[in-house]
Amino acid sequence: MSTTPQAAKLFGNAIGEKGNYLNASRGIKSWLLTLDHKRIGIMYLIGVTVALLLAGVFALVLRSELFTGTKMFLTEAQYNQMFTLHGAIMVFAFIIPSVPAALGNFVLPMMLGAKDVAFPRLNLCSFYLWLFGTGFLLVAMLTNGLDTGWTFYTPYSIKTTSAVMYATMGAFILGFSSIFTGLNFLVTINTMRPPTMTWFKMPLFLWSLYATSIIQILATPVLGITLLLLFAERALHIGIFDPAYGGDPVLFQHFFWFYSHPAVYIMILPAMGIISELMSVHAHKKIFGYAFIAFSSVAIALLGFLVWGHHLFASGQSTLLSLIFSAITFSVAIPSAVKVFNWLATLYKGSISLVTPMCYALSFIFLFGIGGLTGLFLGTLSVDIHLHDTYFVVAHFHFVMVGGTLTALLGGLFHWWPKMFGRMYNDFMGRVSCFLVFAGFNLTFFPQFVMGARGMPRRYARYDPEFQIFHQVSTIGAFVLGIGVVVAFAVLVYAIYRGPKVGGNPWGAASLEWQSSSPPDYHNFTHKVVMNDPYDYSVMVYDEDLDTYIHREFTVPEKPARTEPEPTTT
C-alpha cells in the first residue's frame, strides 16, 4: 500500500515550521502567558492533578482515622476540617474543571478542525481564576481551616470560627473560572464549526461539552450570588440567611442546590462524552444511536435544573414539593439509561480491543450503573428519610463522581495521551492501573452502601463497633484505589519520556483531532482536514510505512496530489 505525500504530512509526524505545540517556544513564560488551547489544557491538567492528589491524601487520612472507630491521630474538630477540605477541593478545584477544562480544552478545538477556542485570552483568564480560587481554598486550609462541609450550610457557616470567608471567596472565583470556560466552549462550538460539520455530524464528546457549557452558564451564577450573600452575611451580618434577623437558612439550601445539583451534571456529562468516544473507537464500530446519545445529554442538562429539591427532603420542605422533585428526579434516569443502553449496543458485534482506555470505559459503565441506580433509592421519598445523611449517600455520589468521572477522565487521558505527547504508554501497566482502580474503588465504597443502609451516619469521626469491619475493608480499598491512581499517572508520565513514538492516528479513530500529527502542530493542523463522519472507521486504513492509520483518500497513489498551502512569506 502506498501513500501520497500529504498522508505523511497529515498522519505522519511532519509538522509546520513553527514546530509542534510543545517545542514551538520554550521557557516558563511561553507557558504561563500562552494563548494556545493545548498548552492551557496541559496547565489545567497539571493543576487539577495536583488538586486531585492533595484531596486524595486527605481522603486517605480520613479513611485511616476511621480504621478503628476510636481516636487515632485526628481530633473530632480536625476530622471535620479534613472531610470539608477533601470535599471542597475535590468538587470545586478538581472534578468540575477536570474533564472540560483539561481534556476539553485540548480536544475541543481540534475536534472542530479549528485553530483555537473562540476567546483564547478568556481561556487563559479562566485558568488563572482557577489558580487564584484554588489558592484561596488553600489559604482557608492554612489559616483557620474550614469545618462546614463543602456545602457551607447556614446558619452554622455564619457562626463557625473557621475560615469561611476565604473558602467562599475561593469557590466564588472558581465559579467564574467555570462560567468562562463554559461560555468559551459554547461560543466555539456555535461559531467555529467548519461549514460542513452540522450539529449532527459533531463527535458526541462535543455534544456533551455543549450540554455541560449550558449548565455552567445557567447554574454557576446562582452559586456566585449565593456565596456572595454568605460572604456578606459573614462580613456585615446582613441577615438574609440568619433566622436571628428574620432571615431564612433554608433559602440558602435552595440556592446552593439550585447550582450544586446541576453541578453534578457538570461533572458527569463530559465524562459520558468521553465514554461515547472510547466505546466507539475501541470497539471499531459506529456509535449506536447517535441522536439518542446527543439528545440525552441535552435532556440531562435541562432536567438537572428541576430536581434540586431532592436534597431538601429532610429540611422541612412541603410534601407536595418533595413529591414533585422526587418524580422529576426519577425521570433523569431515562436519558442516563438511554446512554448506557446505546453504549452496550455499540459494543455488540464490535471488534473490541481491550486497551487501557477501553478497560476504563468498561469500568465506567459498571460503576456508573451502580451509582445511577442507587440514586433512585435516594430519590424515593420514604427511603430517603432513612438513608438521608448516611454512608449510603456517600457511597452513591462517590460511585458517580469517582467511579464515573475519575474513571472516565483516566480513560480519556489514556485515549488522548498519544495525541497530546506523541508517545505510547505501556498498555499492560495501564491495564494494571485500571484493575487496581476498579478493585480498590469497589472495595472502598461497596461496604459503605451496607453501612449506610444499617444507619452509619456520614461525617462522623467515631462509630459503633458493629460498623468496624466495613470501615476497615473500606480503608484498605481506599489505599488500593490510591495506589491505582498513582500507578496510572506514573504510567502516563513515564510514557512522555520513555514511551515509543506514535503516528498521528494510532487507534484508527475518525474524528478530526486524529488528523494532526502527534503531538499536534502549533496551529493544530498543517493541512486542510478531510471532513468525514466521526464514527465511520472504514475511512481509516492502517499504513505500514507510517505505522499509523491514515485516511482512505490518501491511499490511492493515482489520486492527483493536492496543492500545497502557500509558503509562508513574512
Partner 1 sequence: MSSVDTTAEVHDEHHDDDHHDHGEFIAHHFDTPEQQYDSGKLGIWVFLVTEVLFFSGLFCAYVLLRYHQPEVFVAASEHLDKVLGGINTIVLLFSSLTMAWAVRAAQLGQNRFASRLILITMVCAAVFLGVKAVEYSHKWDLNIYVASHYNYIEGYHPDAPSEGLAGALGVSQSLINLCVLPAILLVGFLVAGVIYRVRESQAMSALYLAMAVMMGGFFLGAVGGQIYQNAAESAAAHGGDHGHDAAAGEHAEEAAVTGPDTTSKYPPPIGMFFSIYYIMTGLHAFHVIGGMVALSWLYYRCTRNHFRPDYYGPVDFVGLYWHLVDLIWIYLFPLLYLIN
Least Cβ distance, residue 118 to partner 1 (angstroms)? 4
Residue 186 binding partner 1, by CB under 8 A: yes
Residue 161 binding partner 1, by CB under 8 A: no
Dihedral (CA of 440, 442, 445, 447) sign: negative
- Look up residue 266 and give its amino acid: I
**Residues that contact partner 1, how many (by CB under 8 A):** 64
Tell me the C-alpha distance between 322 and 380, whole Å.
10
Dihedral (CA of 547, 551, 513, 335) sign: negative
Residue 229 binding partner 1, by CB under 8 A: yes
DSSP string, 491-522: HHHHHHHHSPB--S-TT---SGGGGS-SSPBT
Restricting to residues 101-130, which ones interact with partner 1 according to CB under 8 A?
Answer: 112-120
Note the helical H segments in 283-379: 290-303, 319-347, 356-379
Tell me the C-alpha distance between 368 and 400, whole Å.
5
- Look up residue 12 and give its amino acid: G
Instruction: List the end-to-end C-alpha distance of the chain, in Å, as a whole number.
Output: 38
Residue 348 binding partner 1, by CB under 8 A: no
Residue 65 binding partner 1, by CB under 8 A: no
240: its cell numbers: 438574609
Restricting to residues 386-425, which ones interact with partner 1 according to CB under 8 A?
Answer: none
540: its cell numbers: 481509516
Least Cβ distance, residue 307 to Cu ion (angstroms)? 6
Least Cβ distance, residue 183 to partner 1 (angstroms)? 5
Residue 316 binding partner 1, by CB under 8 A: no
Q: Quick one: which of 221, 369, 457, 506 contacts partner 1 (CB under 8 A)?
A: 221
Specify the DSSP element, H or E, that contains 539: none
Least Cβ distance, residue 114 to partner 1 (angstroms)? 7
Residue 562 binding partner 1, by CB under 8 A: yes
Residue 190 binding partner 1, by CB under 8 A: yes
- Strand (E) positions, 126-281? none
Residue 251 binding partner 1, by CB under 8 A: yes
Nearest of 432, 443, 435 to residue 490 by alpha carbon: 432
Selected range binding partner 1 among 274-282, 365-373, 388-396, 526-534, rule: CB under 8 A: 526-534
Q: Quick one: which of 532, 540, 548, 549 contacts partner 1 (CB under 8 A)?
A: 532
Q: Are 140 and 146 in contact (CB under 8 A)?
A: yes
Q: Which does 261 bind (CB under 5 to 8 A by kind): partner 1, Cu ion, none?
A: Cu ion
| String of contacts with partner 1 for each residue 498-517, x by CB under 8 A | --------------x-----
Question: Judged by CB, which is closer to Cu ion: 325, or 537?
Answer: 325
Q: Which does 186 bind (CB under 5 to 8 A by kind): Cu ion, partner 1, none?
A: partner 1
119: its cell numbers: 476567546
Least Cβ distance, residue 202 to partner 1 (angstroms)? 13
DSSP 8-state assignment for residue 311: G
Selected range binding partner 1 among 59-67, 406-414, 439-447, 528-536, rule: CB under 8 A: 528-536
Please calculate the CA angle 452-454-456 and round it to the nearest 5 degrees: 50
Dihedral (CA of 59, 63, 66, 68) sign: negative
389: its cell numbers: 445523611
Residue 528 binding partner 1, by CB under 8 A: yes
Q: Quick one: which of 337, 531, 541, 555 contacts partner 1 (CB under 8 A)?
A: 531
Q: Footprint of partner 1 on this chain (CB under 8 A)?
A: 18, 112-120, 179, 183-184, 186-188, 190-192, 194-197, 217-218, 220-222, 224-226, 228-229, 232, 236-240, 242, 244-248, 251, 255, 512, 523, 525-532, 553, 562, 565-566, 568-570
